[in-house]
Amino acid sequence: MSEFLSAILHHLFAANKILAGHDVSDGGLITCVLEMAFAGISGININITHKEGKVLDILFAEEVGWVLEVDSKDIDFIDSTFKSHSVPVYVIGESTTFGIHSLVTVSVNDTLALTSDLLYLFQMWEETSYRLERRQANPDCVRKEFESLSNRKAPGYRLTFDPQKSLAPAKSLSSRKYLIIIFNICLKNDFTRLPDHQIIRNTKH
């Protein structure tokens, strides 16, 4: 990712303007938005209107770009931020209802390309991994995990402390200790040019 684009995204994250994001690369735009839907267990209503061409070419083009999910009230701020730096940005749709049986609808220039139950698409997505896992792990455990997709829910978060309160450290920090962590990082994209950006409007409140 270019330092220029990284600075823009960092600014938006710092301003709490981005809810979620995913790069458009392997599998194209359709894969990107579906992976976001699976991860968020959310229905989506997408309509790609800023590209011309064949439906499959538009949906599966592996190109440099990002899809960002933002709150609907922040659309204008996001739009003006990118355009002020001459970075193309487009609103392509919205996330809709929450739940594994939510509806997924994808259109290209107002022509319907896909409409389906989220669970059905999720099971198709996981099918290959499921079959491979059965050959290298406990088949019964793998089967139970695959069948549990229909019960997939968001994790519940509960804090055991008040994040607004600042507590004194339990131990003295006078003596320095160092921790060295070595990461093995595989970068999927080499951002040699500024990518286009698409935005999914979040309407769940």
CATH code of the domain in which 108 resides: 3.90.650.10
User: What are the residue ranges in the chain where pLDDT is below 70?
Assistant: 1-4, 166-205
* 137 within a domain of the structure (yes/no): no
* 76 within a domain of the structure (yes/no): yes
Per-residue model confidence (pLDDT) at position 30: 94
- Domain count within the chain: 1
pLDDT digits (tens, 9 = 90+) for 7-20: 888 888 888 899 99
**Residue 48: which H helix or E strand, with range?**
strand 42-48
Per-residue model confidence (pLDDT) at position 187: 41
Q: Which residue has the tokens 């960002």?
A: 68
Q: Provide CB contacts within 8 A for 79, sequence distance 6+.
A: 89, 91, 199
Per-residue model confidence (pLDDT) at position 152: 85
* 183 within a domain of the structure (yes/no): no
Query: 17 lies in which domain range?
Result: 3-118+194-202
Is residue 90 a contact partner of residue 196, using CB atoms and an 8 Å limit? yes
What are the φ and ψ backbone dihedral angles of 80, each rounded to 5 degrees?
A: -70, -35
Q: Which stretches does DSSP call E strand in 59-146?
A: 65-71, 89-98, 103-108, 111-117
**Residue 200: which H helix or E strand, with range?**
strand 196-202
Whole-number CA gyration radius for the chain = 20
Angle at Cα 54 formed by Cα 52 and Cα 57, nearest 5°? 100
* 92 within a domain of the structure (yes/no): yes
Q: Pairing state of beta strands 103-108 and 42-48?
A: parallel
